[in-house]
């Protein structure tokens, strides 16, 4: 089965009744956890972006506390999982401010992590890639926000 294009889906959704749309959304939510999480964000959390960011930061904190610190193999694996989850939440929001805020928070947690990530080349490279992504995202923001985030970036780079 070949998937329809977004335009074809949009045109078809326009022809459906509100009850049919509701049923389609609920059916979508049943199939994948990510669909349900996205609908949760759009319906309940999109209005208060700051509270959403704070809840993601709490999740990041909890995940960092649960990392198995016995070897760098387990540390790398756990940190990649945390980053994957953070990126998923950034995708739900689609706001550059949220992206920058969460990535800066992730990098600050990573920088202050014990044992130091700078003893592992893979973790160091992961950290540096995120710093580059933050820099690119900051350039797309308003000038006032750029200034605020650049001062936070200075702390990460020092």
Examine residue 116 and state whether it is found in any structural domain, yes or no.
yes
Examine residue 34 and state whether it is found in any structural domain, yes or no.
no
Evaluate if residue 158 carries a pLDDT over 90: no
Examine residue 75 and state whether it is found in any structural domain, yes or no.
yes
Examine residue 18 and state whether it is found in any structural domain, yes or no.
no
Number of domains in the chain: 1
Q: Kindly report the pTM of this predicted structure.
A: 0.87
Sign (positive/negative) of CA torsion 134, 102, 82, 123? Answer: positive
Examine residue 2 and state whether it is found in any structural domain, yes or no.
no
Tell me the pLDDT tens digit for each residue of 16-40: 999 999 998 888 888 888 989 988 9
For residue 113, give every residue at least 6 positions away whose Cβ sits within 8 Å of its Cβ, in sequence order, or none: 64, 67, 75, 79
User: Residue 98: which domain range?
Assistant: 47-157
In 11-156 the beta strands, taken as DSSP E runs, fall at: none
Decide which of 60 and 9 is more confident: 60
Examine residue 13 and state whether it is found in any structural domain, yes or no.
no
For residue 110, give every residue at least 6 positions away whose Cβ sits within 8 Å of its Cβ, in sequence order, or none: 79, 117, 123, 126, 127, 130
């Amino acid at each position: 089965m070949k998937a329809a294009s977004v335009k074809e889906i949009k045109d078809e959704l326009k022809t459906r009744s509100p009850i049919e749309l509701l049923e389609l959304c609920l059916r979508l939510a049943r199939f994948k956890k990510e669909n349900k999480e996205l609908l949760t964000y759009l319906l309940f959390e999109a209005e208060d972006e700051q509270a959403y960011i704070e809840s993601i930061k709490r999740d990041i904190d909890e995940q960092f506390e649960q990392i198995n610190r016995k070897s760098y193999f387990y540390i790398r694996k756990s940190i990649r999982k945390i980053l994957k989850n953070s990126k998923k939440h950034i995708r739900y929001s689609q706001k550059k401010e949220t992206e920058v805020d969460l990535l800066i928070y992730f990098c600050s947690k990573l920088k202050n992590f014990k044992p130091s990530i700078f003893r592992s080349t893979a973790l160091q490279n992961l950290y540096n890639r995120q710093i580059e992504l933050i820099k690119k995202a900051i350039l797309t923001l308003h000038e006032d926000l750029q200034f605020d985030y650049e001062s936070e970036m200075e702390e990460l780079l020092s």
